[in-house]
Amino acid sequence: MSAAQSSIPEDVAKSASDARDRLNEHTLKIVHWHFSEDTGSPFWLEKKSELGFDPLKDVKSFDDLKKFPHFEDEWLRGGPIQRWVPKGHAGKPVYVFETGGTTGIPKSRMVIEDHWKDYELFSDTLPDEHFPRGSNWLMLGPSGPRRLRLAVEHLAQHRGGICFCIDLDPRWVVKLIKKGWMEHLEEYKKHCIDQAVTVLTAGHDIKCMFATPKLLESLGEALEDRGTSLQEVGIKGIFSGGTEFTPQWTRFCVEELLGGPVEEGGVYMTPTYGNTLMGLACSKPIKAADGYKISYYAPQPRAVTEVVSFDDYNQVVGFGETGRVKLYTLTDEFFVPGFMERDEGEREAPFDMYPWDGVSGVRPFHELASATTVGVY
Cα gap 298→150, rounded to integer Å: 20
pLDDT of residue 1: 43
Structural domain contains residue 220:
yes
Give the whole-angstrom CA distance, residue 242 versus residue 239. Answer: 11
Say whether both 212 and 194 belong to one domain.
yes
Helix (H, G, I), strand (E, B) or coil at 314: coil
Rounded to whole angstroms, the Cα distance separating 334 from 83 reads: 11
Tell me, yes or no, whether 138 and 45 share the same domain: no
- CATH number assigned to the domain comprising residue 224: 3.40.50.980
Q: Which of 258, 281, 296 marks a domain boundary?
A: 296
Instruction: Say if residue 195 is in the same domain as residue 276.
Output: yes
| Domain boundary pick from 243, 277, 296 | 296
Report pLDDT for 73. 86
- Residue at which a domain ends, from 296, 317, 335: 296
205 contact partners, CB below 8 Å, separation of at least 6: 135, 136, 234
Q: What's the domain count of the chain?
A: 2
Strand order in the sheet with 335-348: 163-165, 136-140, 206-211, 237-241, 268-275, 279-283, 295-297, 358-364, 335-348, 322-330, 303-308
Asked if residue 128 and residue 239 are part of one domain, the reply reads: yes
Cβ neighbours, 10 Å, residue 116? 16
Q: What is the pLDDT along the chain (377 residues), one digit of tens a residue?
A: 444 555 889 999 999 999 999 999 999 999 999 999 999 999 999 999 999 999 999 999 999 999 999 999 889 998 899 999 999 999 999 999 988 766 678 889 999 999 999 999 999 999 999 999 999 999 998 888 888 889 999 999 999 999 999 999 988 998 999 999 999 999 999 999 999 999 999 999 999 999 988 899 999 999 999 999 999 999 999 999 876 678 888 888 888 889 888 888 789 999 888 877 787 888 888 887 788 888 999 999 999 999 999 999 999 999 999 999 999 999 999 999 999 998 999 999 999 999 999 999 998 898 876 655 555 54
Instruction: Specify the 3-state DSSP secondary structure of 179.
Output: helix
163 within domain boundaries: yes
Half-sphere exposure of 52 (CA within 13 A, CB side): 4
